[in-house]
Structure formats: structure tokens, C-alpha cells
Amino acid sequence: MKTSEDTFSKTAHPTADNWVAAHGGGELMERMGIEFTEYTLERTVGRMPVHGNRQTVGFLHGGAYVVLGESLGSMAANLHAGPGRLAVGVDINATHTRSATDGFVTGVCTPVHLGRTIAVHEIVVTDEDGDRCCTMRITNLIKDMPG
């Protein structure tokens, strides 16, 4: 997908790894066991264990899917925003279509729109069998870093 500005590289940062090392994913991502496995402007991927994130009847909690989706979408939008800019979530929605009960789920985030001030991404979460469990859309506002 082409961005609205030709100045962005594939990662929009000198190295995405440096950005991750500097900013990480935050306390909630760590607590839930979420890890990024790939991050470029074209695709951001992460996974999360079902164990430890289940609701009372044994299914992966619906809110856990959303935490995974927002983590991936925010990472992707911040990579698009580039140095000196920040992406802030303004909307997210999720449709749950299947329940994961064990193993890991994987989220794949791809851009729908990459603009100068708005980034929209779709996140598809699948279980270990490749079955779609949840589909999300996140919208991020891109603005200059404070200070």
C-alpha cells in the first residue's frame, strides 16, 4: 500500500527494532503475554497466549482480542507516523466470530488507509488452526509529539 507521503520508508523509522526497544508495548501487553513477531508499514503481526487470558467459561476473553488488536494497530500507526509524530487511538471495533480455548492466537494487522493525520488498519485474529476468531478495525489520529 502506498502512503500519502513519499518520504516514508518501509518502516518509517531508521529501524523499527530501535522504536520497539525504546517504547516497547507497555505493561498490559507484557502482562497478557503479547509479543510482536513482525512490524512493517505493510503488515504488523503479533501473538498472544490463550492461557491466562480466558473468561470464566474457558474462552479467550473478548477484551483480550481487543487488547491484541489495539496493540498491533497502534504499533502499525506509529510506524507510519514516523519520527517526531505520535499515533493516538480514536476508535476501535471488534466482531467476534469464533472462540479460542487453548494455545495461541495470532493477529495480522494491515493498512486500510494511511494518511497524514489518520491511519486506519484492519486486524484479523486467528487460532492455531487458522480459523478466524475476531476481525477489528482501528482508527488512529496522527499528531506531532508533545514537547
List, by residue number, the catalytic residues: 70
- CB hemisphere CA count around 103 (13 angstroms): 11
Residue 28, helix vs strand vs coil:
helix
Query: Per this entry, what is the length of the chain?
Result: 147
Q: 98-110: b or e for each residue (b if 16 or more CB lie within 10 Å)?
A: ebbeeebbbbbbb
Question: Residue 103 CA to chain centroid, in angstroms?
Answer: 19
Beta-bridge partners for 137 = 93, 122
Q: In what order do the strands lie in the sheet with 85-96?
A: 35-39, 44-49, 104-114, 118-126, 132-144, 85-96
